[in-house]
Chains A and B, each alone.
Chain A
Amino acid sequence: MKPVIRVENVSYTYDGGGPGEVDALLDVSLEVAGGELVAVIGHNGSGKSTLAKHMNAIFVPTRGDVYVLGMNTRDESRLWDIRQTVGMVFQNPDNQIVATTVEEDVAFGPENLGVPPTEIRRRVDEALSIVDMTGHEKSAPHMLSGGQKQRVAIAGVIAMRPRCIVLDEPTAMLDPVGRSEVLATVRRLATDEGIAVVHITHFMNEAVLADRVVVMEGGRIALEGTPREVFSQPATLRRLDLDVPQVTELAYELRAAGAPLPRCPLTVAELVDDIAALVGKGARQS
């Protein structure tokens, strides 16, 4: 499939030539296709947020190029086309909701695009149903929970009909309930809506849901692959000072202790199945 976003050998330097010069990105290349959920993980300062801000032309690369459906983000005449194609959800839901009611806020993007009112109505209803917030149209944002607010922010982006959505640590300020609500929504965006989704996070267990995991370190891509490929390298991850999901960790300990587990499990259910199979086999043999 043709990629929606193509990041080609991008480097980015903050405050170039100044006293605070920092290389935030070094020769990063990445492609994201429609319907694909890519998780970008890494520590603070690994460059993951800087990478995210390159995808809708908030930042323009110091070297290299970013293409959104073939449009170069350097091309200022295409700026609004790019921003319409790539939606962005930020960390703090409070600071990205503009309007005083949920439906007005979801309508904000389409209003900016000059969409006719009846079409805006349709898009708002559709976007709210995708994020499972139907029935809250008239609610005031400050009365909602963190998870609900973040889902409203996601709906606000969906209503612009983007081909790609970049979420910059959308769960960082949420409680566990809100976090799982948002994660389920993010997964659905890729699977059901066919949107290219880039999920920036520093929670390892959130990356498990992705189709592909990109591990950033010091402005470079340190590791890339399916969640299973990435998490089956615990030594590398530990060297990068990143954790593997708890259940994966447990499987490694078990394997080190001699249990012949067949794969690197990513979820509790997978490990339970594997152990059940092992125990069943052992029981039959004896």
Chain B
Amino acid sequence: MNLSSVAIGQYMPGESLVHRLDPRTKIMLSLVVVVALFIVKSAWAYAALGALIIGTVMASRVPLKMVLRGLRPLLFVMVLTFGLHLFMDPGEPIFRIGKIVATDKGLAQGLITVARLSLLIMATSTVTLTTSPIAFTDGLESLLKPLSFVGVPAHELAMMMTIALRFIPTLLEETDKIMKAQMARGADFETGNIAKRARAMIPILVPLFVSAFRRADELAMAMEARCYRGGQGRTRLRQLRLGTLDMAALALVIAYAVTVVAVL
């Protein structure tokens, strides 16, 4: 097993208009679309919002396949909810399997729920596929900053995300090293039932945790040595700037979403 091949995030670098949008614009717009998805009820509205999302994906030149891949982990949930709606909702029967009756209203409701879930994931995936994790973190910090007056630790959250992103590859590398060291001494991670394999992970997790704590300790010292004392009075190398492109995108998408909610 080669752990270094694990992809972090799913950012697809590019130069399209969507890529060039300010991360705050993208986060806000995905929120607008998500809210709209929860308000609308008609099939036409879902089609309109779906067209908006797919249009954005096209404009970003990210293969649609990558966006659809995000749906895979939720496939089971979608099939389950669809099935539950189809067979459990009251309505006119369409067909029956033994004693279980599928209804027309169930079918409609099931389709709507599946559409809502898929579009939700596609909208958020579009953001993460076109925004680098660093830009995303910056955007989130900037958006949450007004909330820090009510106690939302905006800077701390962003710093935690940055450090996590920074250390995921390092810790994966270390896990790989520890596993190889244990395998060289005869440890077996590949055979046996789940319980046995889980037990085999203990000799990996213990040194990994010990080392992670040591790293955290050293990192804290190094950060303090470089005058880190929280978000107060901190400046940033990269400044986020809302350009005309962002204004245009915000105006257009919000107008579109409002129209869809109001009309359809």
In Å, the complex CA distance between A124 and B237 comes to 9
Q: Judge if B166 is at the interface, Cβ distance under 8 Å.
A: yes
- Whether the Cβ atoms of B162 and A112 lie closer than 8 Å is no
In Å, the complex CA distance between A99 and B226 comes to 13
Q: Judge if A90 is at the interface, Cβ distance under 8 Å.
A: yes
Question: Once A and B bind, how many residue pairs between them come within 8 Å at the CB atom?
Answer: 94
Which residues of the partner chain A approach B239 to less than 8 Å between Cβ atoms? 117
| Total number of A residues with any Cβ neighbor in B under 8 Å | 39
Chain B residue at smallest Cβ distance from A97? B166
Which residues of the partner chain B approach A87 to less than 8 Å between Cβ atoms? 225-226
Which residues of the partner chain A approach B235 to less than 8 Å between Cβ atoms? 110-111, 114-117, 120
Which of B80-88, B176-184, B214-222 is found at the contact surface with chain A?
B214-222
Q: Judge if A157 is at the interface, Cβ distance under 8 Å.
A: yes
Q: Which A82-107 residues sit within 8 Å CB-CB of chain B?
A: 83-84, 87-88, 90, 92, 94-101, 103-104, 107
In the assembled complex, the CB of A202 is this many whole angstroms from the nearest CB of chain B, namely 19
A104 with B237: in contact, given A94-B215, A98-B219, A99-B166 (CB under 8 Å)? Answer: yes
Which residues of the partner chain A approach B233 to less than 8 Å between Cβ atoms? 114
In the assembled complex, the CB of A153 is this many whole angstroms from the nearest CB of chain B, namely 8
Which residues of the partner chain A approach B218 to less than 8 Å between Cβ atoms? 90, 92, 95-96
Cβ-defined partner of A95 (8 Å) among B173, B222, B227: B222
In Å, the complex CA distance between A142 and B214 comes to 18
- Whether the Cβ atoms of B227 and A88 lie closer than 8 Å is no
> What range describes how many residues of B lie at the interface?
20 to 34
Q: Judge if A276 is at the interface, Cβ distance under 8 Å.
A: no
In Å, the complex CA distance between A108 and B228 comes to 8
- Whether the Cβ atoms of A100 and B162 lie closer than 8 Å is yes
- Whether the Cβ atoms of B215 and A109 lie closer than 8 Å is no
- Whether the Cβ atoms of A114 and B234 lie closer than 8 Å is yes
Which residues of the partner chain A approach B224 to less than 8 Å between Cβ atoms? 58, 83
In the assembled complex, the CB of A58 is this many whole angstroms from the nearest CB of chain B, namely 7
Which residues of the partner chain A approach B238 to less than 8 Å between Cβ atoms? 104, 117
In Å, the complex CA distance between A284 and B68 comes to 86
In Å, the complex CA distance between A111 and B162 comes to 15
Chain B residue at smallest Cβ distance from A80? B227
Which residues of the partner chain B approach A42 to less than 8 Å between Cβ atoms? none
In Å, the complex CA distance between A109 and B223 comes to 8
Dominant secondary structure at the A interface: helix
Chain A residue at smallest Cβ distance from B226? A109
In Å, the complex CA distance between A174 and B228 comes to 27
Most A-side CB within 10 Å, residue of B173, B214, B222, B233: B222
Q: Judge if A160 is at the interface, Cβ distance under 8 Å.
A: yes
Q: Judge if B185 is at the interface, Cβ distance under 8 Å.
A: no
Q: Judge if A248 is at the interface, Cβ distance under 8 Å.
A: no
- Whether the Cβ atoms of B229 and A80 lie closer than 8 Å is yes
Q: Judge if B247 is at the interface, Cβ distance under 8 Å.
A: no
In the assembled complex, the CB of A115 is this many whole angstroms from the nearest CB of chain B, namely 6
Q: Judge if B163 is at the interface, Cβ distance under 8 Å.
A: yes
Which residues of the partner chain B approach A140 to less than 8 Å between Cβ atoms? 169
Which residues of the partner chain B approach A103 to less than 8 Å between Cβ atoms? 237
- Whether the Cβ atoms of A96 and B234 lie closer than 8 Å is no
Cβ-defined partner of B226 (8 Å) among A116, A117, A142, A160: A160
Which residues of the partner chain B approach A99 to less than 8 Å between Cβ atoms? 134, 162, 166
- Whether the Cβ atoms of B134 and A112 lie closer than 8 Å is no
A98 with B227: in contact, given A92-B218, A104-B134, A107-B237 (CB under 8 Å)? Answer: no
- Whether the Cβ atoms of A157 and B229 lie closer than 8 Å is no
A101 with B234: in contact, given A92-B218, A96-B219 (CB under 8 Å)? Answer: no
Q: Judge if B170 is at the interface, Cβ distance under 8 Å.
A: yes
A95 with B226: in contact, given A111-B234, A114-B235, A142-B170 (CB under 8 Å)? Answer: no
Q: Judge if A259 is at the interface, Cβ distance under 8 Å.
A: no
Q: Which B131-183 residues sit within 8 Å CB-CB of chain A?
A: 133-134, 162-163, 165-166, 169-170, 173
Q: Which A251-283 residues sit within 8 Å CB-CB of chain B?
A: none
Q: Judge if B99 is at the interface, Cβ distance under 8 Å.
A: no
In Å, the complex CA distance between A88 and B219 comes to 12
In Å, the complex CA distance between A50 and B193 comes to 50
Q: Judge if A156 is at the interface, Cβ distance under 8 Å.
A: yes
Chain B residue at smallest Cβ distance from A124? B237
In Å, the complex CA distance between A80 and B226 comes to 9
Q: Judge if B96 is at the interface, Cβ distance under 8 Å.
A: no
Chain B residue at smallest Cβ distance from A82? B227
A120 with B237: in contact, given A100-B166, A141-B166 (CB under 8 Å)? Answer: yes
Task: List 13 A-B residue pairs with CB atoms under 8 Å apart, sorted by A's residue number.
Answer: A83-B224, A83-B226, A90-B222, A96-B219, A100-B133, A107-B237, A108-B223, A111-B234, A111-B236, A111-B237, A112-B226, A120-B236, A124-B237
B interface residues, Cβ below 8 angstroms from A: 133-134, 162-163, 165-166, 169-170, 173, 214-215, 218-219, 221-229, 233-239
